[in-house]
Structure 1
Amino acid sequence: MINRLPSTKELQAFLITAQHLNFTAAAHILNVTQGAVSRQVISLEEQLKVRLFHRHARGLTLTNKGYEFLPLVEQAMNQIHRAVDQVSNDKQLVKLKAPSCITPWLLPKLMTFQQAYPDIDVELTSAIKHNVNFSTEPFDAAICYGQSPQEKSLLTNLLFEEYLTPVCSASVLPIDKTTLSTDEMNDFTWLHATPQKSDWALWLKQANSSHLTADQNQHFATLDLSVSAAIQGFGIAIGDITLAKLDLESGRLVAPHTLTVASGNSYYLVRPKTMQNPSLELLIEWLI
Structure 2
Amino acid sequence: MSNDIGLPPLNGLRAFAAAGRHLNFRAAAEDLGVTQGAVAQQVRGLEDHLGLRLFLREPRGLTFTEEGRAYHAAVSRAFLQLSEATAALRAAPSRVTISVTPTFASKWLIPRLAEFTEAHPGIDLRITATERVSSFHADGIDLAVRQGRPPFGASLRADLLFAQEVVAVCSPNLIAGRDLPLGAADVSRMVLLHDSHDLWPRFIEAAFGDGTELSRGVRFNQTTLTIDAALAGQGIALASRFLVQRDLKAGHLVQPLNCALDGGLDFHLLTRRQGASDAALRVRDWLLGMANRRD
TM bracket, shorter-chain basis: 0.5 to 0.7
SS of 2:163 mapped into structure 1: strand
Identity %: 24
CA contact (8 A) 1:109 1:287 kept: no
Match runs of 1:1-288 below 5 Å:
90-103=92-105, 104-129=107-132, 131-175=133-177, 177-194=179-196, 197=198, 199-288=199-288
**How far apart in 2 are the matches of 1:100 and 1:88?**
33
**How far apart in 2 are the matches of 1:213 and 1:190?**
12
SS of 1:244 mapped into structure 2: helix
User: Which portions of structure 1, spanning 4 or more consecutive aligned residues, are displaced by more than 4 angstroms?
Assistant: none
Deviation at 1:168, TM superposition (A): 0.6
CA contact (8 A) 1:201 1:210 kept: no
SS of 1:107 mapped into structure 2: helix
> Which moved further from structure 2: 179-188 or 209-218?
209-218
* CA-based RMSD: 1.9
Flag the structure with larger Rg.
2
User: TM-score by structure 2 length?
Assistant: 0.63
**How far apart in 1 are the matches of 2:285 and 2:271?**
13
Amino acid corresponding to residue 115 of structure 2 in structure 1? T
**How far apart in 2 are the matches of 1:215 and 1:244?**
23
CA contact (8 A) 1:182 1:209 kept: no
CA contact (8 A) 1:189 1:214 kept: no
**How far apart in 2 are the matches of 1:133 and 1:122?**
18
SS of 2:152 mapped into structure 1: coil
Deviation at 1:178, TM superposition (A): 4.2
**How far apart in 2 are the matches of 1:209 and 1:174?**
26
Deviation at 1:208, TM superposition (A): 4.2
How far does the alpha carbon of each residue in 1:229-285 deviate from its partner, in whole angstroms, 9 at most, with x for none? Answer: 111111111121111001111111110111111111111111222333111111111
Cα distance change, pair 88–149 in 1 and its aligned pair in 2 (3 A): farther
Amino acid corresponding to residue 192 of structure 2 in structure 1? W
Deviation at 1:125, TM superposition (A): 1.4
How far does the alpha carbon of each residue in 1:189-215 deviate from its partner, in whole angstroms, 9 at most, with x for none? Answer: 111012x62x11221232243322334
**How far apart in 2 are the matches of 1:264 and 1:162?**
6
Aligned length: 199
**How far apart in 2 are the matches of 1:93 and 1:233?**
40
Which stretches in structure 1 are left out of the alignment for 5+ residues? 1-86
**How far apart in 2 are the matches of 1:164 and 1:118?**
34
